[in-house]
Structures are given as C-alpha cells and as structure tokens.
Chain A
Amino acid sequence: MSPILQTLANGSAYGYRSFAAAAGDFESIATVSVGSGGSASAEFTSIPSTYQHLEIRWIAKAGSGTRLRLQINTDTATNYSTHLLLGDGSGVAAIGAANEAKIAISAATSGTSGVFCAGVVSVLDYKDTNKYKTVRTLSGIDNNGSGEVALNSGAWRSTSAVTSLKFYWDSGNLDQYSSFALYGIKG
C-alpha cells in the first residue's frame, strides 16, 4: 500500500507507513450489486450468527419520490415501526409510522442519472433472542438544488435472531449500479 501524504498549509508533507488491519473485528459478509435491467430488491439471506452487530453500507437509485424500505426475516406482517427526521434544504419534517409491514429507512430518491442515495444502516444485537431489533440509519441524497438528508430509527417487534434482510424501494426497481454491502461486527 502506498503511503498517503499529509499536505499542510506550510508546504510540508509527511508520508505514513501502512497500518496492519486488526483481524476479524469488522468483516465483510456479502455484497449485492445490481446489474443492468435493475432489480426489485437486494436481499441478504442465511446471515451468520457469529457477530454481535451488523452494518449495511449502500448506494441506491430509483425514480423520484420513493424511499428505501427494509424487511427482516421475510416478515411481511405489521410488526415494524419507523421514525424519520428529514431535512430537505428548506424545511424539516418528522415522520412516524407504527404497525407497518416494513421500516422506512432512507431519504427520498432522485431519478437523475448518476446521482445515488447513500446510507449506513446499523442493526445492533441482531441475534439476541431477548430483544426486539432496533435499526438506525443515516442516509441522504443531494442533487444540486434538491434532495434530503435523513436520520431513521426503526423497530422490528420480534425477538427472533435476524437471519435475512431485504431492501427495496417503495415503488420501482433498484437501478443498475445500486450496491449493498453487509458487514459483521464482533463484540
């Protein structure tokens, strides 16, 4: 790995040695990348139970005005609730929804070519069978004059261990180049 230089206003520069990664604390589990033609959803199944927490890092695109949704363990019953705090560049909105069939996790998208919504989803204690599961997300999309930034908190009212996650738009397909990466964090 080549060194990265630090550039200071006084013109000096420093090189850095490579750091050795700590083994096994934050591991990549799987990636779903959407190809040409798009896809209705991105799913992670058979999630191993060997971690303490999960993190999903994603970029995604669809047509305008749709939000990313999350379902857990193929549960399509109304066992979810959501809170969103949104900023759209001019005003703030708060959205709450109880007894839903999914968690709304993201800012609303734009349909502009090449402009993707991005987010980081955390699912803490995902395998704990004593707790309902809480999901938190930071997401946003900016399209040079439109867009949203969003903070989400969601709940899945089940004490089952999380074994699958499904991401999909409220309407429309995930566009090509959308990508979801699942990571496990050891405790």
Chain B
Amino acid sequence: MPSTYTPIATTTYGSDAGAFSFTSIPNTYTDLIAVLNIRSKKAASTGLLCSRMNSDSGSTHSYTILTGNGSSASSSRNTNVSWDSFAEIAGNNAASGVYSTVIYHIMNYANTTTNKTLIARVNETSSNVSAQVGLWRSTSAMTSLQFFDYDGANFAAGSSFTLYGVKSA
C-alpha cells in the first residue's frame, strides 16, 4: 500500500513575525493537513487566528464554530467574509509558555469541481476548545493557505506551522 501523510513544509518563528503563508502548494495530494502551535502577540489573553485560501480577500468565505469555554457551549457563524476560520488562540497576556494547537484538514483541496471545505480542531488551553467548519466558495484548486491575526498582531516567536499532504490510492 502506498505510504502517505508526507511532510511538505514546516517553519518555526525564531522571532515575533506577522502573517504566514504556505504558497505554491503542489496539487499531487488528496487532502492537506496544517498543524499549528501558535501564540498571538495581541495584548490580551487571547488573539484571533484566521485562515484564508489562495489569498482571496473577497467576501467568498464563511464558517461555523462550536465552542466550549469551561462553563458553557455555544455556536456561532460568519458569512460573506474574507477568511474561512476564526480561532481563539493564546494571546500575549496568556501565561508564559502557553501556545494553542490548531489542526486544519482541507479535503480534496486540488479539485476544480467542488467548493473547498476545511474542518478544524482548536485547543486554547487557557480559555476554550472548539471545532470549526469553513467554506471557500470557489472551485479553484487551493494553491496557498495563509494564516493571520484578525487584529493585525504578530505571532510570537516559537509559533510553528507545518503542512502535510495525504494522498489516497
């Protein structure tokens, strides 16, 4: 059986820096998995991490979120926005050493027939756990994936971004 789940690229910030993108993503896989361990420099206990496919800044994205914050569960959504996920992550005022884990699955990312759906798990150990689904209303193959802070803050040194490709038989 063909082995898969191939690491494509990875980086860890040696110093605080802004938005990060995987670009020129090859179309040779079936799904992509992006694994982030990340902390925002926003001057708050949490920051807001957004993702965007193909740098499309049009209002062609939307998402639905399920969140538990330790005392209650809630769900929210946003429509016609320019990002396809919205995750609370550790901010600059979180305890030192706290980074949030976010794992995105982008299914059938290279096909040119369907709109693109991503699903994600978010673990922000100081405040919440969430599951998300996002939609990019485009049948274009996804060739780049950007991560940025909603408020324009940097990501902290030590934040890591890893992309894997999974190829079906």
Does more than half of chain B's interface fall in helix, strand or loop, or is it mixed?
A: strand
Residues of B within 8 A of A28 (CB): 1-4, 166-169
Are B4 and A2 in contact, with the CB atoms below 8 A? no
Are B134 and A114 in contact, with the CB atoms below 8 A? no
Identify A57's interface contact among B2, B31, B76, CB under 8 A. B31
Are A181 and B79 in contact, with the CB atoms below 8 A? no
Are A107 and B135 in contact, with the CB atoms below 8 A? no
Are B115 and A138 in contact, with the CB atoms below 8 A? no
Stretch touching chain B among A62-70, A87-95, A122-130, A164-172: A87-95
Instruction: Give chain B nearest CB distance to A185 CB in angstroms.
Output: 9
Are B75 and A90 in contact, with the CB atoms below 8 A? yes
User: Given A7-B21, A25-B5, A28-B4, does the pair A89, B166 have CB atoms closer than 8 Å?
Assistant: no
CA of A9 to CA of B17, assembled, Å = 7
User: Given A10-B18, A116-B115, A144-B62, does the pair A21, B6 have CB atoms closer than 8 Å?
Assistant: yes
Instruction: Give chain A nearest CB distance to B138 CB in angstroms.
Output: 10
B67-80 interface bits toward A, Cβ cutoff 8 Å, 1 = contact, 0 = none = 10000011111011
Whether, in the assembled complex, B99 has its beta carbon less than 8 Å from a beta carbon of chain A, the answer is no
Whether, in the assembled complex, A161 has its beta carbon less than 8 Å from a beta carbon of chain B, the answer is no
A interface residues with partner B (beta carbon < 8 Å): 1-10, 14, 16, 19, 21-31, 57-59, 85-92, 107, 114-120, 138-145, 147-151, 177, 179, 181, 183-184
- Supply 29 A–B pairs (Cβ within 8 Å), ascending by A: A4-B22, A6-B9, A6-B161, A7-B21, A8-B17, A8-B18, A9-B154, A10-B17, A19-B6, A21-B3, A25-B3, A29-B169, A57-B168, A87-B73, A90-B76, A92-B73, A92-B75, A115-B117, A116-B114, A120-B105, A142-B62, A143-B62, A145-B77, A147-B77, A147-B135, A148-B133, A149-B131, A149-B132, A183-B5
Sorted nearest first, the 5 A-B pairs with minimum C-beta distance are: A9-B18, A140-B133, A87-B66, A87-B75, A89-B77
